[in-house]
Structure 1
Amino acid sequence: MRIFIGIPFNDTTINYLIEAQNALLVNTIKYNKTSSNNFHLTLAFIGDVDITTLEIIKNLFTENILDNHKKAIYFGQPKLFKK
C-alpha cells in the first residue's frame, strides 16, 4: 500500500482548485481530471508499506503529532507565480 502524510483543504480552497483545474483543462486535448476528493497538500510521501508498518506509523503519528500538537494552519489566497 502506498501511503503519504497530507493535509486536507477547506471548501474554499477546494472550490478554487476546481475552478483552476477546469480553466486549465479547457484547452487540453487529453487529460485525467483529478477528483476534488483527492485534493490535499502532501507533507511527506512514505511509499509502499505493509499493513503492519502502516499501523506502526499511524500509532507513532497519532501519539507524537496529533495528540500533542493540535494547531490550525491558515492559508491565504492561492496564487500563480513565474520562476
Structure 2
Amino acid sequence: MRTFIGIDFPKSLKEQIVEVQSFLKSISKKGRWKYIDNFHLTLKFLGEIEYEKVEKIRQALEKNLKDFSRFSLKISSCGYFKGHGNLRVVYLKPDGNLEKLNTLFSLVEDAMAEVGFEREKREYIPHITIAQDVVLNEPFENFHKYVECFSFDEIPVEKVILFLSEEIDRKRVYTPIFDIELV
C-alpha cells in the first residue's frame, strides 16, 4: 500500500482552491492539474507499507499526538518548485500558526521514526500542490498577485490522517485509512 500522513480540507476550501487553479489554467499552455478531492497538506510520505504496519503507525501517532491541540492555518500566498523548462510543482502556501504546524510535523516524524521510517532529511516546506509540469503563457507574478488577493477559508487542523494513495481508472485517489483526532 502506498501511503502518506496528512491534513485534509473542508469541501468549501477545496472549491476555493479549484477557483484559483482555474485561473492558473487560464494563463498556462499546459500542466497536470490536481483533482479537487486530492487537495491536502502532507506531513509525512511513507511510501509502500505492509498492511500489518498500519496498527503500529496508529499507535505511534496516538501516543505522540495525545495532548496536541487543534489549530488553524490560512492560505496566503503561492510558490513553485522549478523543473526543466517548466514549473515542476505549483503550490499554495499555508500561513498562520506555522510554529504549531512545524511542531506537529516533528511529532509525526518522531512517531514514524519509532515505527522504523527514515526521518526526512530535507527541510519541511508545507505546501498544497495544485498542479505539476506547468508551462505558463504569462509571468508567474500574475498568478502570485491573484492568489494574494483571493480570500480563502481557514484550514482547520483538527485531525491527522493516514491516507492510502492508489490509481483507480488512471486517476490518483486518496482514501483515509484512519484518523487521529487532535484535542
| TM-score, length of structure 2 as denominator length | 0.37
Q: CA deviation at 1:78?
A: 2.7
Is 1:80 the counterpart of 2:88? The answer is: no
User: 1:22 aligned to 2:10?
Assistant: no
Aligned-pair CA distance for 1:41: 0.6
Which structure is higher in helix share?
A: 1
Structure 2 match to 1:51: 51
TM-score, normalising length from structure 1?
0.71
In structure 2, the residue corresponding to 1:70 is in which secondary structure?
coil
Higher relative strand content: 2
Structure 1, unaligned runs of 5 or more:
none
Note the alpha carbon deviations across 1:10-61, whole angstroms, 9 max, x for none. 44532331112111223334x4432211110111111111001122112211
Q: Determine the C-alpha separation between the residues in 1 that align with 2:34 and 2:40.
A: 11
Give secondary structure in 1 for the equivalent of 2:43: strand
Percent identity over the alignment is 27
For residue 5 of structure 1, report the CA deviation from its aligned partner. 1.2
Structure 1 ranges of 4+ moved more than 6 A? none
